[in-house]
Amino acid sequence: MGEIPAPRAGGIRHAASVTEPAIIGVLRECLEAELGDGASSVLFRALARWGGRVPQRFADLVDVIHGPLREELARTEGEARARTLVEVLQERLRVSEMPTGTLAAAPRAGFEDAPTRALPRERGPVGVRVIAQTKTLAILISSALGPERVLPSREPRVLLFDLSDPPAAWDPALQGVASRAEVTLLYGAEVDGARALEEWLLEGGAQVSTLASEHGVGPILDVLRARAP
């Protein structure tokens, strides 16, 4: 086999896996009822703008809804629709009987009901492994799609290299993992060393797709949704 290409310096090798608080699942289900598959991209971008974290408390959830999520909805759905969706989300979370009064105390002025879409049917989870220095991308993907669609796996169907946040060195065993995966995604194909990594993985028999970071995470989410019918 060829020599293992070196990523840029910095960090340690990390294969991220995460679990999610129940509250983000409630928010995701509410968004999916309104936006269908488009909900995952909107939620991903909102959480990324919130610092790449997952809300742990209901007060955090309110902050996300009225801050970055509302801004993302305004950008994709328009200001009027965003206002309505925020109120719909707030109302649905209120009636879910959260154990604190944070959401129940949120203002209700201006609430208007709006036509909604049915929730997408449940899909089997896809095993995913994210190779990066930090857990950020893995957390955002897990939060955006949920455990009913994606689960961390050491032997995944989808192996994802985050070249925008690479480890100090690639584990040689990853060439074998990639060869057994259905597809290996290289996110950040424009960075130095991406081509060398792609050739190394192809040499091991992997099915590789490259994704430029300028296109955002939408293509990653599309690949994962397509494998969770």
**Pairing of the two strands 126-132 and 158-162:** parallel
User: Of the spans 14-18, 91-95, 155-159, which averages the highest pLDDT?
Assistant: 155-159
For the four alpha carbons of 124, 35, 187 and 10, in that order, the dihedral sign comes to negative
Q: pLDDT by residue (tens digit) across 135-186?
A: 888 888 888 888 888 999 999 999 999 998 898 889 999 999 999 999 999 9
pLDDT at 100 over 80: no
Closest CA to 223 of 60, 95, 40, 30: 40
Residue 44, C-beta contacts closer than 8 angstroms, at least 6 positions apart: 140, 141, 143, 144, 217, 221
Chain-centre distance of CA 161, in angstroms?
14
The Cα 23–Cα 58 span in angstroms is: 7
Query: Does the pTM of the predicted model rise above 0.75?
Result: no
How would you class 97 by CB atoms within 10 Å of its CB: exposed for 0-12, middle for 13-18, buried for 19 or more? exposed
- Token pair belonging to 44: 């991903």
Question: At 34, is the pLDDT very low, low, confident or very high (cuts 50, 70, 90)?
Answer: confident
- Split at pLDDT 50, 70, 90, the class of 39 is confident
Q: Which of helix, strand or coil describes residue 190? A: coil
| Closest C-alpha among 101, 106, 70 to residue 91 | 106
Number of Cβ within 10 Å of residue 229's Cβ equals: 8
SS (H, E, C) 69-123: HHHHHHHHHCHHHHHHHHHHHHHHHHHCCCCCCCCCCCCCCCCCCCCCCCCCCCC
Q: Please provide residue 162's backbone torsions phi and psi, each rounded to the nearest 5 degrees.
A: -95, 95
Give me the pLDDT at residue 18, please.
Answer: 38
Answer yes or no: are the C-beta atoms of 88 and 34 closer than 8 Å. Answer: yes
Each residue of 76-90: pLDDT tens digit?
A: 888 888 888 888 887
